[in-house]
Amino acid sequence: MTTLKIQRPADGTLIEEIPAHDAAHVAVVAERLRDAQREWEQIGPKGRLVWIKRYRKWLLDNADHLVEIAMEEGGRVRNEPTLETTLLQEIIDYYIRVAPRLLAPKSVRGSSPLTFGKRYTVHRSPFPLVGVIGGWNFPLLLTIGDALPALVAGAAVALKPSEVNPRAVVEAVRGWREDIGAPPVLDVLLGAGDVGAALVDAADFVQFTGSVATGRRVAVRAAESLTPVSLELGGKDPLIVLEGANIARAANCAVYGGFANNGQVCMGFERVYVQHSVYDEFVDRVVAKVKSLRSGVDDRSDVGALTHPPQLDIVDRHVREAVDKGARVLTGGNRIDRAGTWFEPTVLVDVDHSMAVMREETFGPVLPIVRVADADEAVRLANDSEFGLSASVFAANTGEGERIAERLEAGAVSIDDFVANMVCADVPQGGWKSSGVGSRLSETGLLKFTHTKVVASHWMPLPANDIFWFPYTPARRRLFAAAARLIHGRGPSRLGL
């Protein structure tokens, strides 16, 4: 039997070996979930929300336990998984509030005279089985966080967490199934890419979070069966700092946005563009702040280990290549000499877009800073990327920041802040360009897990035959054409002139 060896990134020691699943098991789980889904859908939004509310209480009561697991298997400091469990509560509260309205049948009044006498109702039905394939950087948020709206919509959900750190997700699913005894419409699949591929084949809708390369493979495989997908594929997010901005706040924000979760944040700052007049002050403040960061996994640490061991080589390669091409390291720049996957919080300057550290996703504790002449150059360089997940702007005032935000090619832009959109479940979170397809959160984050069905009825008696039905005759054709001119024509065309 194949097993997953789950290690502590902090020191490389083995936590446990977990039996991995195979494609045959995926098929069995998918069939079991589909069987349970029928009753789950039939109890309606009100019945489903009873269980979602119970699960919300379980997540709240067990938050510390989940955080401990996520810390150990992720090499993370406590604040980061705590943010995950907090955001899960926000997601649940939002969908409890809006789901009854969004999922209720919606009556639509036709705007065309051709709809006179007719009645239209839009119904929503869930995709029976949703497959969620999550990332290793925020394992709870990127699996349970996507499963929740799918469950609210009436779907059954199969989760495939990363093989690197699946234990917190396994425990969260156990809580649903065993502790609160919820209907068996949520399950977890363990394994590597072969299990993910089997889940794509089995699901009716796929939510994927991960790299661009893997996301493309998911999309291609799903296209074979025309299975709809929603993809969140990471980013290379820019921060712009301009003259007149609050430089102290901008520097603190840059350090948090660049080094939170040890730089393993899809929307983390991986490129910083600073106007020349405030560049020196900004860099000095950033370097001083970064030097004060404490690496470790105890409760007094700021930056943990890298969760996925291969990421250490990517971070090291990006820094070494940048230095070889002329970049300067102002602090950090090296692996930390201890067991586990550790790299020093690093600040680079004299970087440019010929370097991989400015073009590829680094996903580690590295912050490259570029001096720019003005806002126009900053915007041009910020948009010079295949990614477009999010961005931040610090300017002289909010109005200027908002005007610059309109020019940025990104799914979200925070003014004088870092990913402010993520604390608001009412707005969508999605990316442009190679950062993904579709979005999560907001109304879209629920409705994407549903089909629409339009029922067209009528409230008045209908004739035996309509004017545009058979038989086709010149007289009826002229009558229909005249009616179309009357409805849609403007000026002389209304009279057929």
Query: From residue 268, how far is each of 249, 362, 387 by CA, in Å?
Result: 16, 10, 12
Tens-binned pLDDT, residue by residue, of the chain (497 aa): 799 999 999 999 999 999 999 999 999 999 999 999 999 999 999 999 999 999 999 999 999 999 999 999 999 999 999 999 999 999 999 999 999 999 999 999 998 888 889 999 999 999 999 999 999 999 999 999 999 999 999 999 999 999 999 999 999 999 999 999 999 999 999 999 999 999 999 999 999 999 999 999 999 999 999 999 999 998 999 999 999 999 999 999 999 999 999 999 999 999 999 999 999 999 999 999 999 999 999 999 999 999 999 999 999 999 999 999 999 999 999 999 999 999 999 999 999 999 999 999 999 999 999 999 999 999 999 999 999 999 999 999 999 999 999 999 999 999 999 999 999 999 999 999 999 999 999 999 999 999 999 999 999 999 999 888 999 999 988 988 888 888 887 655 454 44
Q: Which of 234, 217, 233, 273 is nearest to 250 (CA)?
A: 273
Same domain flag for 206 and 254? no
Same domain flag for 168 and 54? yes
Q: Is residue 261 part of a domain?
A: yes
> 0.75 exceeded by the pTM?
yes
The whole-number pLDDT of residue 497 equals: 44
- Per-residue model confidence as pLDDT tens digits over 372-396: 999 999 999 999 999 999 999 999 9
Q: Is residue 156 part of a domain?
A: yes
Scored b (16 or more CB within 10 A) or e, 66-86 reads bbebbbbbbbbbbebbbbbbe
For residue 97, how many C-alpha atoms fall within 13 Å in the half-sphere facing its CB?
A: 10
Residue 72 annotated in active site: no
- Contact between 322 and 230 (Cβ < 8 Å): no
Same domain flag for 180 and 327? no
The whole-number pLDDT of residue 476 equals: 87
Expressed as residue numbers, the domain containing 377 is 237-426
Residue 17: Cβ-neighbour burial (10 angstroms; 0-12, 13-18, 19+): exposed
CATH number assigned to the domain comprising residue 148: 3.40.605.10
- Contact between 235 and 361 (Cβ < 8 Å): yes
Catalytic hit among 84, 232, 361, 400: 232
Same domain flag for 25 and 138? yes
The whole-number pLDDT of residue 492 equals: 52
Cβ-based neighbours of 462, under 8 Å, separated by 6 or more: 117
Catalytic hit among 72, 84, 163, 266: 266
The total number of structural domains that make up the chain:
3
Instruction: Report phi then psi at 454, rounded to 5.
Output: -100, 125
Residue 266 annotated in active site: yes
The amino acid occupying position 183 is P
Q: Is residue 416 part of a domain?
A: yes
Same domain flag for 294 and 225? no
Q: Is residue 249 part of a domain?
A: yes
